[in-house]
């Protein structure tokens, strides 16, 4: 895991993540395979992003003797996918922490301005006491990510992590400057945005590829 210039940005350069992202990019990868890969990558990224989850000591009895041993403390994790494409990552994180609560933020990018518009927001309470992991496979201009984190903060969220599979430098800059207090986990940092604000080389439209729409 590479930390960019002592900031809160982490590039998750594990070979398994890189391999699966390459498969994801391939335009010959169909919907079924694409969904599986998104979930697997989210799980691998979650393994790193959740390494600071708080633990508590509990007493259990092994077949040999009683012992005090660490377990994840409380049910304090909330995951918040940005609709639609973030939904594809939810199963991967729930595989790791099945008791996590799930909120949703609905945002879509205007095709002309590329700016995000909110259409839905429902967060688990009490949001201020939870570690919140925002999920979106794509961080392009960073508008959607920055706005989603704004909403969560307006609702009282404090301990926020953002997880994206592919980021453009422009989006990473915008999100990390707007919210320097949050940890941002990136699977791969791509080259740039094109004139339609798509990530290059990217993987195309993540929502369409997950849900088989156009
Ligand atoms: C995509 C993607 C992000 C956003 C990234 O969603 O899933 O939410 O674009 O772009 P940005 O960083 O420039 O804001 P989209 O708006 O296409 O909606 P969808 O997931 O419903 O397809
Ligand atoms: N949203 C996507 O799904 N892909 C991009 O490249 C940019 C925004």
- Domains in the chain (CATH in brackets) are 9-50+78-211 (3.40.50.2020)
Answer yes or no: 208 catalytic: yes
- Rounded to the nearest 5 degrees, what angle is found at the Cα of 96, between the Cα atoms of 48 and 71? 90
* Average pLDDT taken over every residue of the chain: 95
State the pTM of this model. Answer: 0.95
Res 6 pLDDT > 80: no
- Residue 86 phi, psi dihedral angles, 5° rounding: -60, -25
Residue at token pair 């994790």: 77
Burial degree of 136 (CB within 10 A; 0-12, 13-18, 19+): buried
Give dist(CA 90, CA 86) in Å, integer: 7
Predicted pLDDT of residue 2: 76
> How far apart, in whole angstroms, are the C-alpha atoms of residue 36 and residue 53?
25
113 noted as active-site residue: yes
pLDDT at 73: 85
1 — pLDDT class (breaks 50, 70, 90): confident
For residues 80 and 134, the answer to whether their CB atoms sit within 8 Å is yes
* pLDDT digit string, tens, across residues 62-107: 999 999 999 998 668 999 999 999 999 999 999 999 999 999 999 9
The residue whose CA has the least distance to atom 18 of ligand 1 is: 108
Measured from CB, residues less than 6 Å from any atom of ligand 1 are 82-85, 107-109, 114, 116, 136, 138-145, 171, 197, 205-207
Rounded distance between C-alpha atoms, residue 133 and residue 148, angstroms:
11
Give the model confidence (pLDDT) of 27-68 as tens digits. 999 999 999 999 999 999 999 999 999 899 999 999 999 999
């Amino acid at each position: 895991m590479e930390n960019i210039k002592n900031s809160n940005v982490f590039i998750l350069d594990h070979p398994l993540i890189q391999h699966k992202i390459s498969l994801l990019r391939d335009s010959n990868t169909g919907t079924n395979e694409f969904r599986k890969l998104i979930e697997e990558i989210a799980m691998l990224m979650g393994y790193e992003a959740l390494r600071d989850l708080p633990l508590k000591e509990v007493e259990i009895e092994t077949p040999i003797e009683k012992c005090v041993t660490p377990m994840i403390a409380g049910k304090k994790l909330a995951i918040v996918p940005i609709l639609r494409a973030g939904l594809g990552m939810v199963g991967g994180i729930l595989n790791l922490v099945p008791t996590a609560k799930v909120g949703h933020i609905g945002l879509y990018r205007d095709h002309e301005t590329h700016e995000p518009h909110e259409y839905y927001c429902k967060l688990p309470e009490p949001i201020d006491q939870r570690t919140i992991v925002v999920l979106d496979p794509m961080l392009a201009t960073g508008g959607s990510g920055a706005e989603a984190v704004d909403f969560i903060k307006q609702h009282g969220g404090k301990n926020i992590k953002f997880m994206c599979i592919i980021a453009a430098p422009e989006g990473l800059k915008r999100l990390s400057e707007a919210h320097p207090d949050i940890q941002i986990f990136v699977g791969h940092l791509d080259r740039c945005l094109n004139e339609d604000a798509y990530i290059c080389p990217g993987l195309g439209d993540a929502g369409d590829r997950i849900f088989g729409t156009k």
